[in-house]
């Protein structure tokens, strides 16, 4: 996710902004830029790559000014490049902006402006804001901003400078974070507290649809109807370290908590792009789908197998990418190979993609990191809108992958004539409800935390489920073992009696997932089998009447169609793993022996 900082005050804005950008590095970025007002115009430095590249440039060509905006960009529209970096300035060189968020109607706005003679320099959605602002500007920047925001659809946190008001910094917030800091020497805007904590701990939190006007000696707030608002500043008591994590002790917990938002963003981004891409792709040419990936991304693919097969009545194979590449795979031009990867740089998944392409298969990827190898080389790429994921154990990217896969499966089923438009609409509406249900689950964090605290002593924890609950049990088990170092396995409930049940004894916890109505009695009988052999059971289920007793605890999940229930089960599984690991004092964000992006074989 992009990072924004802006300053107006008595000091030189450039070092303040560069330092603030460094404090926002944790958000992830692929390019950075700064613009200051000086000598009746804007001076700009924008640079693809790390912040030290921007710093080197600033050493060679220094900038000075008392008003400025800076940005770290996490590419969403347009490759990471100097020209796509922010700040963006309109073609009249009059208004400069930095933007965090996504402008959903940027194509329409761009066409509207192009028809009126405006020419664009970048491929970004953000540039449209600067161009539109110049197009509407009649001398009063507040009026201009109100007019522009009225035409923008999507999410935006904006920092804006206008040549007509060279002592004013203006900012807006809608669905993306933005704070205002006030200090003795000047005032700030920032995406997050750490960017300005060195200068002040007095912070105003902007609400959605609020505008702020900052000058050296004061700050004012307005709503979109130009009504002035009275706001009270808050005093930040966090340390630098915890502030970077938004007050959470670990990035993993922060990322778990971000899931409702990133699921909403991913749903909004993906629905139209899937439809568009499917217009170009004749899916009746395929006779099978192969999903290939590693680790959690493989587990997302495993969940998707159940969804695709149920909705599309179409054969789907799921292969570990590290196996696929060496197994002489049976794929050809009639195969659609789906690659799932957060980083887009996992060596095994890249190799699997190249193997599939060499055999003539069509490749479709679901990737989080814009411009990554898999995103670039696959025939079609859908991006998850999870933003940068910092904790090694994936959480929010996994949830985003699931929703893209659901949307894709529905679109396939519709086009294959296996789903009526009516049923497709119902399922789509159900997906749209998932973020709210995830929010409900996240509000039960205390219950899960308490339960997890009592589980630290287990030597082995098993995860069982049937059908799609089995697929998500795999992810629960992986999450637990990688961060808590407790031995864990996932099994299909029906498999227990074929071997695993011999491992069940007093010191064993079994997490049973039960959301498939028709299989509920079956998994409950597996639960009874393990309880009678001394195990304790944690049951995750959306069946309200599930039993609770000395041997069995129940966490009630919100109801949804069983095909989408993994998106809810996984939230409890992530929180459970997180709190077990936290109670063991584990290095949660960087578990031993693991790397975030596995770029070697």
Would you please indicate which residues are annotated as catalytic (active-site) residues?
Answer: 2, 596
CB of 544 to ligand F6R, least distance (A): 31
Q: Does 363 interact with ligand F6R (rule: CB under 6 A)?
A: no
Q: Does 295 interact with ligand F6R (rule: CB under 6 A)?
A: yes
- Answer whether 477's CB lies under 8 Å from 601's CB: no
- 438-444: long-range contacts at Cβ-Cβ below 8 A with a sequence spacing of 24 or more? 438/259, 438/260, 438/263, 438/399, 438/567, 438/568, 438/571, 439/260, 440/558, 441/557, 441/558, 441/568, 441/571, 441/572, 442/256, 442/257, 442/259, 442/260, 442/571, 442/575, 444/555
**Total binding residues for ligand F6R by CB under 6 A?**
15
Kindly tell me which residue out of 146, 294, 390, 535 binds ligand F6R, with binding defined by CB under 6 A. Answer: 294
Order the strands of the 460-465 sheet from edge to edge: 487-492, 460-465, 508-514, 536-541, 552-556
The residue sitting closest to ligand F6R, measured at its beta carbon, is 295
Residues in 296-325 that interact with ligand F6R by CB under 6 A: 296-297
- Answer whether 398's CB lies under 8 Å from 392's CB: no
Q: Does 402 interact with ligand F6R (rule: CB under 6 A)?
A: no
3-class secondary structure per residue, 82-122: CCCCCCEECCCCCEEEEEEEEECCHHHHHHHHHHCCCCCCC
Whole-angstrom CA distances from 2 to 268, 508, 524, 586 are: 18, 44, 46, 29
Q: Does 577 interact with ligand F6R (rule: CB under 6 A)?
A: no
When the beta carbons of 85 and 401 are compared against ligand F6R, the nearer one is 401
When the beta carbons of 47 and 346 are compared against ligand F6R, the nearer one is 346
Interacting span for ligand F6R (CB under 6 A) from 343-351, 380-388, 445-453, 572-580: 343-351
Q: Does 346 interact with ligand F6R (rule: CB under 6 A)?
A: yes
How many C-beta atoms surround the C-beta of residue 485 within 10 A? 14
Kindly tell me which residue out of 342, 488, 574, 577 binds ligand F6R, with binding defined by CB under 6 A. Answer: 342
When the beta carbons of 483 and 535 are compared against ligand F6R, the nearer one is 483
Whole-angstrom CA distances from 113 to 43, 142, 167, 297, 472 are: 25, 21, 28, 41, 47
- Cα(95)–Cα(2) distance, integer angstroms: 20
Beta strand spans in 131-201 (E): 154-162, 169-174, 179-182, 186-190
Residues in 381-400 that interact with ligand F6R by CB under 6 A: 393-394
CB of 418 to ligand F6R, least distance (A): 29
- Answer whether 465's CB lies under 8 Å from 492's CB: yes
- Answer whether 352's CB lies under 8 Å from 325's CB: yes
Q: Does 341 interact with ligand F6R (rule: CB under 6 A)?
A: yes
Q: Does 565 interact with ligand F6R (rule: CB under 6 A)?
A: no
Kindly tell me which residue out of 201, 273, 444, 597 binds ligand F6R, with binding defined by CB under 6 A. Answer: 597
CB of 146 to ligand F6R, least distance (A): 42
CB of 510 to ligand F6R, least distance (A): 22
Interacting span for ligand F6R (CB under 6 A) from 82-90, 246-254, 339-347, 507-515: 339-347
Q: Does 365 interact with ligand F6R (rule: CB under 6 A)?
A: no
Q: Does 349 interact with ligand F6R (rule: CB under 6 A)?
A: yes
Residues in 443-482 that interact with ligand F6R by CB under 6 A: 478, 482
Alpha-carbon dihedral sign for residues 284, 290, 294, 298: positive
When the beta carbons of 22 and 254 are compared against ligand F6R, the nearer one is 254
Provide the binding-site residues for ligand F6R, judged by CB under 6 A: 294-297, 341-343, 346, 349, 393-394, 478, 482, 597-598
């Amino acid at each position: 996710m992009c990072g924004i900082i802006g300053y107006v005050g008595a000091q030189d804005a450039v070092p303040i902004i560069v330092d603030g950008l460094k404090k926002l590095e944790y958000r992830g970025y692929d390019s950075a830029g700064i613009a200051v007002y000086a000598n009746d115009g804007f001076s700009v430095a924008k640079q693809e790559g790390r912040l030290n590249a921007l710093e080197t440039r600033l050493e060679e060509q220094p900038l000075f000014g008392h008003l400025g905006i800076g940005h770290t960009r996490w590419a969403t529209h347009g490759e990471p490049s100097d020209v796509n970096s922010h700040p963006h300035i309109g073609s009249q060189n009059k208004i400069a902006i930095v933007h965090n968020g996504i402008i959903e109607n940027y194509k329409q706005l761009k066409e509207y402006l192009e028809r009126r003679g405006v020419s664009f320099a970048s491929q970004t959605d953000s540039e449209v804001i600067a161009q539109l602002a110049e197009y509407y500007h009649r001398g009063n920047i507040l009026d201009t901003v109100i007019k522009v925001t009225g035409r923008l659809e999507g999410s935006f946190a904006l920092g804006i400078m206008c040549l007509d008001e060279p002592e004013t910094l203006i900012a807006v917030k809608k669905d993306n974070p933005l704070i205002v800091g006030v200090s003795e020497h000047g005032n700030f805007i920032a995406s997050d507290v750490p960017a300005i904590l060195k200068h002040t701990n007095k912070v105003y939190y902007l609400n959605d649809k609020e505008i702020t006007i900052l000058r050296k000696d004061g700050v004012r707030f307005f709503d979109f109807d130009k009504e002035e608002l009275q706001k009270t500043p808050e005093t930040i008591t966090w340390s630098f370290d915890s502030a970077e994590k938004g007050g959470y002790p670990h990035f993993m917990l922060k990322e778990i908590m971000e899931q409702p938002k990133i699921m909403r963003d991913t749903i909004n981004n993906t629905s139209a792009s899937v439809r568009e891409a499917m217009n170009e792709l004749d899916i009746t040419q395929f006779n099978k789908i192969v999903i290939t990936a590693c680790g959690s991304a493989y587990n997302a693919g495993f969940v998707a197998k159940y969804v695709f097969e149920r909705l599309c009545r179409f054969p789907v194979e799921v292969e570990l990418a590290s196996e696929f590449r060496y197994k002489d795979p049976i794929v050809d031009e009639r195969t659609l190979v789906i690659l799932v990867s957060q980083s887009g740089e996992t060596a095994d998944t890249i190799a699997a993609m190249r193997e599939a392409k060499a055999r003539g298969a069509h490749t479709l990827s679901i990737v989080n990191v814009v411009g990554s190898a898999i995103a670039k080389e696959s025939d079609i790429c859908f991006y998850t809108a999870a933003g940068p994921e910092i904790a090694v154990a994936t959480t929010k990217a996994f949830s985003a992958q699931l929703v893209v896969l659901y949307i894709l499966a529905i679109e396939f089923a519709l086009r294959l004539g296996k789903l009526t438009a009516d049923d497709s609409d119902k399922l789509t509406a159900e997906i749209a409800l998932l973020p709210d249900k995830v929010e409900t689950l996240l509000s039960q964090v205390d219950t899960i935390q308490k339960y997890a605290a009592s589980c630290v002593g287990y030597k082995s924890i098993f995860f069982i489920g049937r059908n799609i609950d089995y697929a998500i049990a795999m992810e629960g088990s992986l999450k637990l073992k990688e961060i808590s170092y407790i031995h864990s396995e996932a099994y299909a409930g029906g498999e227990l009696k074929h071997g695993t049940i011999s491992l069940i004894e007093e010191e064993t916890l079994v997490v049973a997932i039960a959301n498939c109505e028709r299989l509920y009695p079956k998994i409950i009988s597996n639960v009874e089998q393990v309880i009678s052999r001394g195990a304790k059971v944690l049951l995750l289920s959306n069946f309200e009447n599930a039993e609770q007793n000395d041997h069995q605890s129940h966490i009630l999940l919100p109801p949804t169609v069983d095909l989408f229930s993994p998106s809810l089960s996984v939230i409890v599984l992530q929180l459970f793993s997180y709190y077990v690991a936290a109670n063991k004092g584990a290095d949660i964000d960087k578990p031993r022996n693991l790397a975030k992006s596995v770029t070697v074989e």
